[in-house]
A and B are shown apart, each in its own frame.
Chain A
């Protein structure tokens, strides 16, 4: 019975992580042919590809656990936004280049810490996905960290834009470190990452970098949460409408 429950919880957990990855991958892919210069088109597409690849691994595992005939695309394309469980930070529109890089930096620091822990998961499959993904995230972090320095300490305009981005993103970072009962159960079972424990190291790394980039760390005077429960901003609905349109227009087709 306990085993059955853990299986169901793990499915849900893999699906959540898949949701984070697919939504951010989508946002990053929107930059393709829209970046400030060609090298950056390629770099952002590369990062997007890593996240889409990650989504496929998490959903693929969720589909195996579900064992009800669904595949990775059923998870991505046939669930509505209320069923999506991504952390809100991932779904915010791409904004300007400063917003995209600041979000990416926050997420890269987080992922590097998160995946390092997930590698130790008692669930071998999740551990294997994390082992692959953490290498990518280390690389992503090198890039987004560089951009934070260049943009924060670049021109007056780039500084202003980056500070605005950091301010507007900050309230969405709190829920990265919160556990709901499901994740708590999985933490107890040695499967999930205890994200509450990541908060201090995340804050330390981010704080140091913001300093170096001549940026101000915002006050903790607002916080938006709800992604893991399916309470989203209005942006996710539009993202999914676009992403799922073709797939849903021709039900049951193979592509």
Chain B
């Protein structure tokens, strides 16, 4: 088949909602777009281990310590899984890590905010995993087969994280005044950044149009954000907390909540490196990677010795 025919066949399959698989022909732009998105997703899982990891050693009960540790471990597992998904597109994990460390690749900007208090662990599970789920449920229908399947698998665990985060918040809200205040403060700090996770308005989004056409992305940033806003209102009410958005109002006609405008200056400020933790997150990743180099070297040296011995025998 000629290049043109291949391309036509590709678009027919996209049209018919058939999944594209690693061995299939795909336009280079499609491949690159997927690599960008999937590796960014993988980096987010990995960098996201840091803010929550910050509380593992101080978790206030053994039960919470175990839950948190297991959760952070899950996120690492998601990272691994997504790195291998991206690898099906012909990029190596080492290349992706190099792109992360040289800031060529992005990760979810939410993780540039610090986890300052214990309640932040709850807020992150509830809101950040919650927002991720809304996005990922939609991505279960993405056109690239391996990515779609990883989303299905990962979403199950994310729902679990969200429930645990919410349950943590609920425990605080039913506790002492101080605990409830801690929960309110965490909600106030994480609510808006969680909304920002869905990205800029569709009109401003650099990759959106092409991604939608390729069915990599299935719903627009604003639609997904609205879903999240709608589902979060009753959850805040049930906790008995105040909604951080003073303009939140049910709109009967739209069947959705109207809401206040996001501080887009802050969004772009944090994305471009001026969040409280941007440098810390990347430097931590680099430091740990460098500190671990001798271990990885030892591993391959040992592997090689073993091979040589096997050959000699």
Residues of A within 8 A of B (CB): 22, 26, 29-30, 32-42, 45-46, 48-49, 52-53, 55-56, 59, 72-73, 76-77, 96-97, 149-151, 153-155, 157-158, 161, 242-243, 245-247, 250, 253-255
- A-B complex: 10 closest residue pairs judged by Cβ atoms: A36-B292, A154-B298, A158-B298, A36-B295, A45-B73, A150-B302, A33-B53, A33-B49, A255-B60, A247-B60
Q: B179 interface residue, CB < 8 Å from A?
A: yes
Listed by A's residue number, 26 A-B pairs whose Cβ atoms lie within 8 Å are A32-B56, A33-B72, A36-B288, A36-B291, A36-B295, A37-B296, A38-B76, A38-B79, A38-B80, A40-B295, A42-B77, A45-B70, A46-B73, A52-B66, A52-B69, A56-B63, A97-B292, A151-B295, A154-B299, A242-B57, A242-B58, A246-B58, A254-B171, A255-B63, A255-B171, A255-B175
Specify the chain A residue showing the minimal Cβ separation from B291: A36
Contact across chains for A73 and B49 when beta carbons are under 8 A apart: no
CB distance from A162 to the nearest CB of B (A): 9
User: Hey, which chain B residues are within 8 Å of A77, CB to CB?
Assistant: 60-61
Q: How many pairs of A and B residues are in contact by the CB < 8 Å rule?
A: 134
User: Hey, which chain A residues are within 8 Å of B60, CB to CB?
Assistant: 77, 246-247, 250, 253, 255
CB distance from A154 to the nearest CB of B (A): 3
Q: Which one of B57, B288, B296, B305 contacts A153 once the chains associate, using CB atoms below 8 Å?
A: B305
Bound Cα distance from A56 to B67, whole angstroms:
13
Specify the chain B residue showing the minimal Cβ separation from A34: B288
Q: Which one of B61, B79, B284, B297 contacts A154 once the chains associate, using CB atoms below 8 Å?
A: B297
User: Is the contact region of chain A dominated by helix, strand, or loop, or is it mixed?
Assistant: helix
User: How many residues does chain B have at the interface if contact means C-beta atoms less than 8 Å apart?
Assistant: 45
Bound Cα distance from A33 to B281, whole angstroms:
11
Contact across chains for A29 and B118 when beta carbons are under 8 A apart: no
Contact across chains for B62 and A56 when beta carbons are under 8 A apart: yes
